[in-house]
Amino acid sequence: AQSVTQPDIHITVSEGASLELRCNYSYGATPYLFWYVQSPGQGLQLLLKYFSGDTLVQGIKGFEAEFKRSQSSFNLRKPSVHWSDAAEYFCAVGAGGGSQGNLIFGKGTKLSVKP
Amino acid sequence: SQTIHQWPATLVQPVGSPLSLECTVEGTSNPNLYWYRQAAGRGLQLLFYSIGIDQISSEVPQNLSASRPQDRQFILSSKKLLLSDSGFYLCAWRILTGREAFFGQGTRLTVV
């Protein structure tokens, strides 16, 4: 069965510092991978996605993620964090297309940004 | 463009009372629809998904039920709420041939 692990529950970084959020997945075939962001009390917004091709994908708000098949990882990065990036981040793996394709989510990483 | 509406935004209900949360999608046809529940520190748990009208699949046994009376309407219900039903409920949709899901703004349910 598919699963997603986000090892870091809470990360604090200083504004302007670089950021890397870790995500490891378990999936038998080529996965569809996603990063979502959630502000407090809000729904989830899609940051970026990986289906195939170039393993470095660019997303919104200056985020990028790199798919590494050998490590079963899809880590999220940002070179310089802004205070508005404080939120909770969720990694997800898709079960494929078709009639189901239900997304399986990690438990999330809460990001705090110090001024 | 497609939009998803979910209401109410917040709800406080007594134990034993009924529940009805509604979600509608605009700008697309025959979407897959999903209900997730989010509890602190536990990520998102898929509760129900639907691939069409009156076609509902339940992922976990629980006190809740879901219905899809129209193509773009998805309802989460309970006859008698439990304290453990408290949480943040999220509706989501995806197109049949697509892969990412798009989420509503969520409903914060507190059962007292």
pLDDT at position A97 is 55
Q: Is the pLDDT of residue A99 over 70?
A: no
> Distance (Å) from the C-alpha of residue B41 to the closest C-alpha of chain A?
6
Does A101 contact B at CB distance below 8 Å? Answer: yes
pLDDT tens for residues B1-47? Answer: 889 999 999 999 999 999 999 999 999 989 999 999 998 777 898 89
Q: What is the percentage of chain A residues whose pLDDT exceeds 70?
A: 94
Cβ-nearest to B49 among A96, A102, A108: A102
Neighbours of A95 (CB within 10 A): 17
Cβ distance B96 to A51 less than 8 Å, yes or no, reads no
- For residue range A14-53, list pLDDT tens digits in order: 999 999 999 999 987 778 899 999 998 899 999 999 988 8
Mean pLDDT, rounded, of chain B: 92
Residue type for position A37: V
Helices marked H in chain B: none
CA distance B72 to chain A (A): 16
- A62 phi/psi in degrees, rounded to 5: 80, 10
pLDDT at residue A101 tops 70: no
pLDDT at B2: 85
Checking if the pLDDT of B109 tops 80, the result is: yes
Q: Which chain A residue has its CA at the smallest distance from B44's CA? A: A105
Q: By the CB < 8 Å criterion, does B3 face chain A?
A: no
**Cα-trace Rg, chain B:** 13
Average pLDDT score over residue span A63-81: 96
Tens of pLDDT along B57-105? 988 777 899 999 999 999 999 999 999 999 999 999 998 666 889 999 9
Interface contact B101-A108, CB threshold 8 A: no
Q: In angstroms, rounded to a whole number, what is the distance separating the alpha carbons of residues A71 and A90?
A: 19
Residues B53, B65: Cα–Cα separation, whole Å: 15
Q: Which of A47-61, A98-112, B6-20 is least confident?
A: A98-112
| Angle value at C-alpha B98, between A25 and B61, nearest 5 degrees | 60
